[in-house]
Structure formats: C-alpha cells, structure tokens
Amino acid sequence: MSDAATAYQGPQRIYSGMQPSGDLHLGNYLGALINWVKLQEEWECVFCAVDLHAITVPQDPKKLASQTREITAAWLAAGVDPDKSIVYAQSSVPAHSELAWILNCTARMGWVERMTQFKDKAGKDSERASVGLFTYPVLQAADILAFKGTHVPVGEDQKQHLELSRDIADRFNRDFDAENFFPQPEPLIQGPGARVMSLKDGTKKMSKSDPSELSRINFIDDADVIAKKIKKAKSDADALPSEVEGLEGRPEARNLVGIYGALAEKTNAEVLAEFGGEGFGKFKPALAELAVEKLSPITQKMRSYMDDPAQIDAVLKKGAEKANAISEPIIKEVREIVGFWNT
C-alpha cells in the first residue's frame, strides 16, 4: 500500500459496478460478483449498475431500463443483499456526471490514451468511437471517488483502469492542495475466477461483446445450453496434466481447469489432483454438471425477481436515496475545493 493510501483517514468502503449492457456471463460472476457477495459480510459495500458507462456504445433506449433491472435481479439472485449493501443505478445519482467532468479536467490526455481497453473496444475505427468511450475510465474514477471508495473488487481486466483512478485521485489532491481528500482506491482482484477466458479462444477474455454466443456462459442459459457450450468449448487432444506446470502453453485447458476450480472453490492443483490423466471427454461433462449445479439455482431466482419488476425498482430507488446521501456531501466539498461560486 502506498503512503498516500495509508494516510487517508476516512471510512473504508467497497465500491464496484457492472454495465447493464447485455447478459451477465460467467466471467462477471466469477471475476466480481462472487466476491461482492462475500465482501458484504464484512464491509460497507456500494454496488452500481453503471448505465452511464453502458451508453458509451450504442444501446437500445427501449431495453436499457429493463437491462438495468435484469442485472440487478442477477445480483440479488447471486446473494447481494440490499439490506446490507447499497444497490442502485448510476444515472439516478447526479454526483457521477458532475465529478466525471471535474476529473476530466484533472486527468491528462497521455494517461487516458494509454488505456488498452479503449484500444480494444474502439478497434481500428477509433475515430468513430464516442468521446464517452475514450473518457470511460475517468467516469469510472468518478464513480469510485464520489463515494470515497477505498477498495474495488474487479476482474483482472480492470487493473489498468484502477491504476488510473489512483493517479487521478492523487493528482486532484495535489493540484488543489487537498491532502488525502480522496483515497487512492485499492483494487481487490481475488480468486481463481479473476480472469475467465473465452470458451472459443483461451487467450481472449470472456466478454459480453464477443459476437460468438458459444464463447461465454450467460446467467440466463439453461442446463442444456450450458452443457452444449462446454461440450463445444475449444480444448486440445492431450489428457489433463497432474501438475499445474503442465498447463503451460495450453490456454484452453488452463481456462477450463480454472473455471472448474473457481466454481468448486478449489485451486488448479486440487482440480488436477482429481482429474490429472483424464481426457476432456471425461472432464467436460464433470465441468458442465458443476456449472449447472452452481448456476441453475441463481438463474431460477433471477427469473423470479424478473417477474416482479416493482420489487427491483423499489430496491434501486431505496439504493439511490442512500447513494445520494453519501455522495452529495462529498460533491459539495469537491465544489468548495475547486472554488466554484455558490458552493
């Protein structure tokens, strides 16, 4: 931990978010959500459906609100408890947009230009990408800092964005002579599911925006679909090794073993102790059975939450009230620090 992080004296608070931009997948679950559920037992937690982030790429206005309800339903079904954690939609809390603008004036072009996720998402046609997609990581910094979030549970793909958030917090504190006003948020990248890869290519992360449905397991997939996707997952011709070192240079095998381990809460070594020497013909059905066993109860609960949108709306409304109550005084202080008139 850096000196700046240890010098921050405010309360410790977990902050994290997910985009309501499509079906939640196994990567989102194992990389982030599973940890959220555990962390809420010990920490003050704030979890946000980041719909402002979602519109950095085109979204169907007729579907966005229901996508926000759906992701909330998935969280509740997975065990996020709105009596323990604050659960809300980003667009219902004005602090995000206001602080994002201020931090856009703190962040440096060179820092944001280095972000690899923009390069990946914008692809070759970056001239046509939205400005919002470019400044996405600054909004992410604003999300966390509007709540003075100190710890951020995310998958490994978000590591670079978190480093930027730390730089922005530090720069703001120094530019405005506001020592330790913002904490430097620490990433919490935990567990064997921190980097779940595509089922079709073990070198690419599992992602909502992958055009191939077979590349990911979605929360809403039923047992047959899960089994089919695992059966069709890319693997190789060799048997599984007995030692972890034997996964070297076998990205698909490593990924499937890692998924099994994350679902079973076992290390790769423990999984290989059980399956070393077996071929994929035996391992894949065992993985499919485990995935169905773990995901089906969540999917069922999620569907029943989705049948009651008023209940989800009530959770989001209450969450927005609590979120505004935390973020408004922080933004008021930011305005004073920046020197705006009539703060």
Q: Which residues bind ligand AQP (CB under 6 A)?
A: 18-19, 21, 25, 27-28, 31-32, 154-155, 157-158, 193-196, 205-209
Give whichever of 125 and 177 is closer to ligand AQP, judged by the CB atom.
Answer: 125
Give whichever of 140 and 184 is closer to ligand AQP, judged by the CB atom.
Answer: 140
**Residue 47, helix vs strand vs coil:** strand
* Residues ≥6 apart with Cβ < 8 Å to 336: 343
Q: Which of 84, 204, 208, 228 is catalytic?
A: 208
- Residues 224, 282: contact at Cβ < 8 Å? no
DSSP H or E run through 327: helix 309-338
Task: Give me the helices (H) in 115-243, please.
Answer: 116-122, 131-145, 159-175, 223-232
Whether 124 sits among the annotated catalytic residues: the reply is: no
Give whichever of 25 and 234 is closer to ligand AQP, judged by the CB atom.
Answer: 25
Query: What is the identity of the amino acid at 342?
Result: N
Please give the distance of CA 263 from its chain centroid, rounded to a whole number. 17
- What does the block give as tokens for 127? 């001239």
Give whichever of 33 and 247 is closer to ligand AQP, judged by the CB atom.
Answer: 33
- What does the block give as tokens for 253? 């095998």
* Residues ≥6 apart with Cβ < 8 Å to 213: 229
CB of 215 to ligand AQP, least distance (A): 10
Q: How far is CA 147 from CA 10, 14, 96, 302, in A?
A: 11, 9, 9, 28
Give whichever of 208 and 322 is closer to ligand AQP, judged by the CB atom.
Answer: 208
Give whichever of 188 and 337 is closer to ligand AQP, judged by the CB atom.
Answer: 188
d(CA 190, CA 337): 35
CB of 116 to ligand AQP, least distance (A): 12
Whether 38 sits among the annotated catalytic residues: the reply is: no
- Residues 141, 160: contact at Cβ < 8 Å? no
Beta 14-18 vs 45-49: how paired, if at all? parallel
CB of 335 to ligand AQP, least distance (A): 28
Whether 317 sits among the annotated catalytic residues: the reply is: no
Q: Which of 200, 205, 234, 294 is catalytic?
A: 205
Beta 86-89 vs 45-49: how paired, if at all? parallel
CB of 189 to ligand AQP, least distance (A): 8
Angular region, 201: left φ>0, alpha ψ -120 to 50, beta rest = beta
Q: Which of 121, 228, 318, 322 is catalytic?
A: 121
CB of 139 to ligand AQP, least distance (A): 11
CB of 176 to ligand AQP, least distance (A): 29
Q: Could you list the active site residues?
A: 121, 205, 208
